[in-house]
């Protein structure tokens, strides 16, 4: 029997460009995996159109699920169990993942953040807010981080980081586009490393073999 493809669930809240980058990486043969479902925090997420066009199962929980941490944890556990998920990828997902689910899925949830953590992370630091903060601080470099998810906001150990230069005439929008390009590189790389069982976790130190 052929080996089953590595099963990935992707959680989104917007356009889903990182979700699309992972899917295209699979199509291009970067690794042998499958996005078994997409979960969106809103029915208006642009990434759902791509999921529909590519016949990827997708779900949007009702509002009451998000209002209860336990309900949301149970929902995630049920879906990931039903689809035999091996890795959960947060790709611009703006809801906090319940601690109970993080505990159940420890070491198998990753997130992409548009800055070089631990700088410019934490509650409320997403999207344009991050890039504006980088510019306001006068940073000369920024970048993106793929990290393991723990119970804090953006506090899990980094898996892959990559930097970009910040220019004096950058706006948040221009910087965001430069950072997004490397997000589309490093997130599929991280997923591929998990799929190929190359990730070594030793406390906060993570290596790719």
> For residue range 69-85, what is the model confidence (pLDDT) as tens digits?
999 999 999 999 999 99
Q: What is the pLDDT of residues 134-150, one digit of tens each?
A: 999 999 999 999 999 99
Q: Which one of 113, 131, 147, 184 is the catalytic residue?
A: 113
147 is catalytic: no
- The sign one gets for the Cα dihedral 40, 32, 102, 83 is positive
Taking alpha carbons only, the member of 197, 185, 182 closest to residue 33 is 197
| Mean pLDDT to the nearest integer, 116-121 | 98
Domain ranges of the chain: 6-208
> Which pLDDT band holds residue 1 (cuts at 50, 70, 90)?
low
Whether residue 50 is predicted with pLDDT greater than 90 in this model: the reply is yes
Matching CATH number, 6-208, of 1.10.3720.10, 3.40.50.2000, 3.40.630.30, 3.40.50.170: 3.40.50.170
36 pLDDT more than 80: yes
Which residues, at least 6 apart from 25, have a Cβ–Cβ distance to it below 8 Å? 31, 188, 191, 192
Summarised one tens digit per residue, pLDDT across range 174-193 is: 999 999 999 999 999 999 99
* pTM (predicted TM-score): 0.95
């Amino acid at each position: 029997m052929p080996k089953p493809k590595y099963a990935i669930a992707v959680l989104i809240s917007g356009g889903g460009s990182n979700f699309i980058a992972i899917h295209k990486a699979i199509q291009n043969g970067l690794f042998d995996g499958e996005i078994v479902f997409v979960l969106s925090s809103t029915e208006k997420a642009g990434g759902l159109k791509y999921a529909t066009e590519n016949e990827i199962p997708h779900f949007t929980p009702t509002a009451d699920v998000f209002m209860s941490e336990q309900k949301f944890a149970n929902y995630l556990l049920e879906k990931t169990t039903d689809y035999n998920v091996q890795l959960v990828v947060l790709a611009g997902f703006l809801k906090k993942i319940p601690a109970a689910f993080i505990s159940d899925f420890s070491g198998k949830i990753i997130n992409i953040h548009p800055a070089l953590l631990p700088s410019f992370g934490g509650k409320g630091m997403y999207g344009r807010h991050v890039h504006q903060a980088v510019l306001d601080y006068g940073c000369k470099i920024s970048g993106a981080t793929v990290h393991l998810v723990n119970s804090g906001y953006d506090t899990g150990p980094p898996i892959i980081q990559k930097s970009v230069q910040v220019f004096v005439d950058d706006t948040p929008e221009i910087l965001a586009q430069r950072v997004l390009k490397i997000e589309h590189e490093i997130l599929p790389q991280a997923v591929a490393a998990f799929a190929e069982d190359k990730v070594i976790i030793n406390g906060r130190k993570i290596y790719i073999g």
